[in-house]
Structure formats: structure tokens, C-alpha cells
Amino acid sequence: MNVRVRALEEPDIEETIRVMKEAWTDSYESLESDYYPREAHEFDMGLNTAERYTASMEYEYGFFFIAEADGRIAGSIRGEIIGKSGFAMIRNIAVHPDFHRNGIGQALMEHTLEYLKAKGCHKVSLNTMPVLLPAIGLYLKLGFVPEAYLAKQWWGVDFICMSKWFEKKTNSA
């Protein structure tokens, strides 16, 4: 499978929304339904609009990448650098279930980590739920560590903040 990660562009938006909604609905039904309120899931799904994708694509401190597998949109990742602080947050990553376990989630994450390093970031964090074991496995594999337990956070549900720090470049001789 030929996997390519690139920035989201306007003509990709409609298909990316479809892929993300199907990916998150599959995740909800298979992993989250006993943990995350259905109302919360439905609210989150409602945020997948062309207006929001466009805004996030155009935000000067934002990033929004998609993965194409053999030319088909298979997943996406988006987030932002908090101004000029060097601290970044990954807000969302998902891969469509038809493409799971083909290295696409890892490719999206690695592309983002390289992008953030090139932007001079020193730290990246994300918030995840304890039931999202595939995601936690992916983050641990890439060197993220659990940094904080967020008790009764969004919708009164516990989350885990996971983070990775980038090594500073040194000018050693």
C-alpha cells in the first residue's frame, strides 16, 4: 500500500469529513460506547463541517494533514501550535477502519512530529481516553508518556494527557 501524508486542501474537505465521521463512529461503537456519552459523540460528530475544516486549515498556527492510501483518503490529523510558545496540541487523529493496521496512523503522527520539530516546538501533547487502546499503543510507540490524569474532564469523563518533548539541538563540536 502506497501511503502519502500531505496538507489538507479545499477539494479534500468533503471526502475527509466522510472518512472522519465513519472512523469516529466505528471507534465509538467498538471502543467508547460504555465510556463516553452518546450525546458527547454526537456533539463531536456535528463539529465535522466544511466551515470548521476550512477555518482549521487556514488558521495560521494550525496544521491539518491527511493520509492517502493508494490515492484514497484514509485518515487525518489536526492540531495547533499555541501561538509562538513552542507548545503544540494534537486535537484529533483517526484512520478509517478499512485501513487500520497498515502504518497510516503512525505515518500521520510521524509527519506531524517532523513538522512540529521543523517549526521549533519543544513539546507536543494530546488528550486521550483510557478506552482508546490502539491510540495509546501508537502514542507510546512514538515516545509519548502519560503526563497527567484528567479526572472528570469533558462530559465528566476521565481523560489522559500524553506528551512528548523534543530534544534541543546542541552545537557540540
Residues in contact with ligand COA by CB under 6 A are 23, 27, 93-95, 100-106, 126, 128, 132-135, 137-138, 141
In the complex with ligand COA, the residue whose CB is nearer, 84 or 114, is: 114
Least distance in Å: CB of 26 to ligand COA? 7
In the complex with ligand COA, the residue whose CB is nearer, 5 or 23, is: 23
**What are the residues facing 139 on neighbouring strands?**
none
d(CA 166, CA 143): 10
Report the Cα 89 to chain-centroid distance in Å: 9
d(CA 118, CA 105): 20
d(CA 20, CA 171): 42
**What are the residues facing 126 on neighbouring strands?**
90, 162
Residues 6+ apart with CB under 8 A from 38: 28
In the complex with ligand COA, the residue whose CB is nearer, 10 or 29, is: 29
Least distance in Å: CB of 25 to ligand COA? 10
Least distance in Å: CB of 106 to ligand COA? 3
Least distance in Å: CB of 98 to ligand COA? 10
Report the Cα 76 to chain-centroid distance in Å: 7
In the complex with ligand COA, the residue whose CB is nearer, 152 or 169, is: 152
